[in-house]
Amino acid sequence: AIRLYLLIFVCAVTRISSNPLVDIVVDRYHIPRVCPREVQTEDFVRYHFNGTFYENGKQFDSSHDRGKAFISQVGLGRLISGMDRGLLGMCVSERRRITVPPHLAYGSIGAGGVIPPDSVLVYDVHLLDIWNPEDKVQIRTLSKPAGCSRGASASDFVRYHYNGSLLTDEAFDSSNETYDTYLGQGDLIKGLEEGLLGTCVGERRVIIVPPFLAYGEQGYGAGIPPQATLVFEVLMVDLFNPKDDLTVEVMEVPQGCTRRTVVGDYVRYHYNGTFQDGTLFDSSYQRNGTYNTYIGMGHVIQGMDKALQGLCMGEKRRIGIPPHLAYGEKGVGGLIPGSAVLIFHIHVIDFHNPKDSVQIRITHKPRDCNATSEADDLIKYRYNCSLMDGTLLYSSDHYDSPSVTTLGANKVIVGLEDGLRGMCVGERREVVVPPHWAHGENGAGDVPRSAVLLFELELVELQKGVPEGYMFVWLGDGPDPLFDAMDMNGDKEVPLEEFSEFIHRQVQEDKGRLRPGMEASSIIKDMFDNQDRNKDGKIVEEELMVKEVEDQVARDEL
């Protein structure tokens, strides 16, 4: 439409008879600060007015009294000529006083019994709305997240907040909770549905909907009058499509990953759970404990069960799970709304399989390796015990000397025992111990429940041992006859001093071995007392022969 500009007279008219009006007079006594649009020819307008006679100020009509705004099209003769011209260029929320001379109003005829002939009319107008049949939905983006990779499309399910108002800023509705609906199924007015297309999660936009794409001539309830342009300020909270699968973004993968999670593994991981707008709903970090579960057995939501497969220890991922793979339309109490997309940032601490064995990797082995550790040996070793994420739990460096243990005596966890066997002095190893060979589901001390442990080991000292129940063993065949070898001075009796000298000589010549980890003198005294049957302080040949027979009988019974 061609825009018409008004010639506004600012002169005051005092007496019609002496100074007749030749054109309308417009007094714009309230103009809004922002005027994005002015009335043009062929526009539709909705406005309130009070109509009075110029001569005496008496009211002849009022839309306020009727309780309903006046609606008409401008510039096509549907209004008196003076109003057709007086409304041009007007802004929504503007108030103006339009004085109309008779020849641009009802002339010399008047209007029925209400408006006398040759009456000058004054209209006090408050413009409420403007639209045109050619109008389209207007969209103005207020803010948009960086890196938006997906906007709402037809058939998507969306969750959004909104404030709804008229063009005059009069609010008619506001969402206390998100409004949840599918797009493209006719559940929304056409203009709002069109305005929501392409919106990203976290985006704010203003959507202006002309009446014919809103509630039209009928309006809606008490808040939306007929032929009202609607303004929606929208914040998109969530969106998904029923065909969506989970999304996986790998954030960090440790170097040297040789094993990934599979169905049946038991995994310990940390996570932060948020909605798509970033609102946190749960966090294992806040509880200061990992979430532990078996994979692929239905112990967690379907999407997480799937997302936990194929992960390395130490890997970090961002997981997006649509509601049909999470908590669905019902959500979870007051924690997770219905139809919510869930975002999980996960960090895998460790995982294992119940069938896992102890893993041993030799990091250093001396060239000379003549003896290796085995059951009953007494060993000294250094160690660091860590979780698989590198968290140090215990270390022999925290003490004054290396740790000491006898292999096979059940003094350390089974997995560590396995890792310490077969080592040379000076050898270093890395040993990975699954929880069923460590502290199990309950943990111990600073060891979390179901934790895989990493031991860094170094064997410092090795003393070869003797079988359980023995104090001394021969390394080969013993002397025959034994008593003659013990009776080094040939006097047919062996006191404690002579017996002790004999045993020490066998150990020095690598013919025999005492139990390690105990005082040699104490062991030798116990051995002597065991042979001295009559407790007279010396061993004779008959006592030794009786003892040998008893030992043989005991072995035969076993």
Determine which one of 16, 80, 139, 189 is catalytic. Answer: 189
**Cα–Cα dist 53/115, whole Å:** 9
Determine which one of 47, 123, 215, 327 is catalytic. Answer: 215
The secondary structure of 392-461 as a DSSP string is: EEEEGGGSSS-EEEETTSS-S-HHHHHHHTTPPTT-EEEEEE-GGGTTGGG-BTTBPTT--EEEEEEEEE
Determine which one of 49, 172, 294, 381 is catalytic. Answer: 172
Whether the Cβ atoms of residue 403 and residue 381 lie closer than 8 Å to each other:
yes
| Active site annotation includes 502 | no
Whether the Cβ atoms of residue 248 and residue 306 lie closer than 8 Å to each other:
no
| Active site annotation includes 294 | no
| Active site annotation includes 172 | yes
List of residues 6+ apart from 216 with CB closer than 8 A: 226, 227
464-499 burial by CB neighbour count: b if 16+ within 10 A, else e? bbbeeeebbbeeeeeeeeebeebbeeeeebbebebb
Q: What is the dihedral of CA 512, 517, 519, 525, to 10 degrees?
A: -50
Its sign, for the CA torsion 35, 39, 44, 49, is positive
Instruction: Give whole-number Cα distances, 266 to 275, 293, 389, in Å.
Output: 26, 6, 16
> What does residue 499 show for φ and ψ, rounded to 5 degrees?
-60, -45
List of residues 6+ apart from 542 with CB closer than 8 A: none
- Which residues sit opposite 405 in a β-bridge? 379
List of residues 6+ apart from 412 with CB closer than 8 A: 405, 420
H helical segments located in 206-261: none
| Active site annotation includes 232 | yes
User: Which amino acid appears at position 497 of this protein?
Assistant: E
Determine which one of 23, 61, 118, 173 is catalytic. Answer: 173
Write out the two tokens for 37. Answer: 């649009």
Whether the Cβ atoms of residue 464 and residue 513 lie closer than 8 Å to each other:
yes
**Cα–Cα dist 514/522, whole Å:** 11
Whether the Cβ atoms of residue 310 and residue 340 lie closer than 8 Å to each other:
no
Determine which one of 53, 162, 182, 394 is catalytic. Answer: 162
**Cα–Cα dist 464/373, whole Å:** 7
CB atoms within 10 A of CB 371: 13
- Reading phi first (left if > 0) and then psi (alpha if -120 to 50, else beta), residue 199 is in beta
| Active site annotation includes 180 | no
- Give 520's DSSP letter: H
Helix, strand or coil, per DSSP, at residue 30: strand
515 half-sphere exposure, CB direction, 13 A CA radius: 19
Helix, strand or coil, per DSSP, at residue 15: coil
| Active site annotation includes 173 | yes
User: Which amino acid appears at position 170 of this protein?
Assistant: E
User: Which amino acid appears at position 266 of this protein?
Assistant: Y
Show which residues are catalytic: 162, 172-173, 189, 215, 232
